Structure 1
Amino acid sequence: MKQTRKLHPGERLISWLLLLFSLLVFHQAYRISGFSGLNTPGSFPLFAALVMVVCTLFLVLENRALGRKNRDRKMEAALVAGKLLPPKVVLFTLMIVGYMLLLQPLGFLLCTLLFLTLSILYLGRVKVLSAVLIAAGSTGAIHVVFSYLFQVVLP
């Protein structure tokens, strides 16, 4: 007895993104050396990328056929947004963007200390003093390792 499966929210979009990624991988594999023979350096990556393209193409076609049966796009978009973008992920992503924007004006040490402290407070649910001490220790360790051991100039 064959069971029919239902599409999960966002599955159709993810399958299309996978197909796009597979095509990009195929293009990059072709750029390695083209396809001048079976024993050239690019033949294995090209074959692997071709397998990826074919498999994801079958997945896209299967999901497209399944998607025709139940199409409530508004409800699907809300479910995808709720599952893929919970508020905690959105806020933390905004914190990362803020870190990137403040890195140049504040400098590495202060910006990293601030970012790590806020991240630990938000994600770890610890006391403020503990968060500051952990962030300061981590920032100090990163500074020592990169500045003195690797001799990298931090921003």
Structure 2
Amino acid sequence: METHNTRRPGEIVFNAALFGFSLFMFWQAYQISGFSALSSAGAFPMAMSAIMVITSAVVLIRSAGLASPGGGFAAFRKEVLPPAVLVFSLFILAYSVTLKSLGFLLASFLFLLFSIWYLERGRIGRTLLLAVVSIVGVYVIFRLVFQVVLPEGIIPERAILAAIGDFFGGSN
């Protein structure tokens, strides 16, 4: 087993957040039915979240005892938040904000287009092809096969599907 003398950038913050999340989960598990009996509905979630609290506390204490890595925010940003993570976080934020207003088809297409374009380093032909094929595949599987209702937005999806159905159904 390899031992480390210094912690990684952001390790304390991450471990503290994990400990806080574990405490929150323990509280939520307790809210199910308290600790009235070992066979109560909340007993198993409480046991699992108690294990999370204990192990995350141990990890937090151990990492607090290690030497600081130095480098400050620059080291943290380089190792924990590289440009690709920041860019994709912005893409996801934009997607979640525009999903309801633009609808699933357009918002998802734009998200895929920009994401693939960013990853492909600007090769637009392949990017466009991958985005179209992906969105058509996802749409066919989820909307047509599984009949999942997706946010419609500005593209009149129901009217288009009805027109296609009328065309193939032979309605006059």
Q: Does 1:59 align with 2:55?
A: no
Deviations along 1:50-71, one digit per CA (max 9) or x if unpaired, are 122122222223333335xx58
Cα distance 1:77–1:149, how it changes in 2: closer, same or farther (>3 A)?
Answer: same
User: How well do the aligned residues superpose, as a CA RMSD in angstroms?
Assistant: 2.3
User: Is the Cα–Cα contact under 8 Å of residues 15 and 59 in structure 1 kept in the other structure?
Assistant: yes
In the alignment, which residue of structure 1 is the partner of 2:102? 106
Structure 1 portions without partners, runs of 5+: none
Identical-pair percentage: 38
Cα distance 1:52–1:106, how it changes in 2: closer, same or farther (>3 A)?
Answer: closer
The structure whose residues are more often helix, as a share, is 1
- Which TM-score applies when normalising by structure 1? 0.81
User: Is the Cα–Cα contact under 8 Å of residues 26 and 46 in structure 1 kept in the other structure?
Assistant: yes
2: CA distance between counterparts of 1:114 and 1:4? 44
Deviation, 1:42, is 2.2
Deviation, 1:109, is 1.7
- Which TM-score applies when normalising by structure 2? 0.74
Structure 2 portions without partners, runs of 5+: 152-172
Matched positions, count:
149
User: Is the Cα–Cα contact under 8 Å of residues 22 and 56 in structure 1 kept in the other structure?
Assistant: yes
Q: 1:136 aligns with which of 132, 138, 149?
A: 132
Q: 5 Å matches for 1:38-77?
A: 38-67=38-67, 70=68, 75-77=71-73
In the alignment, which residue of structure 2 is the partner of 1:26? 26
In the alignment, which residue of structure 2 is the partner of 1:148? 144
Deviation, 1:148, is 1.9
Deviation, 1:153, is 2.8
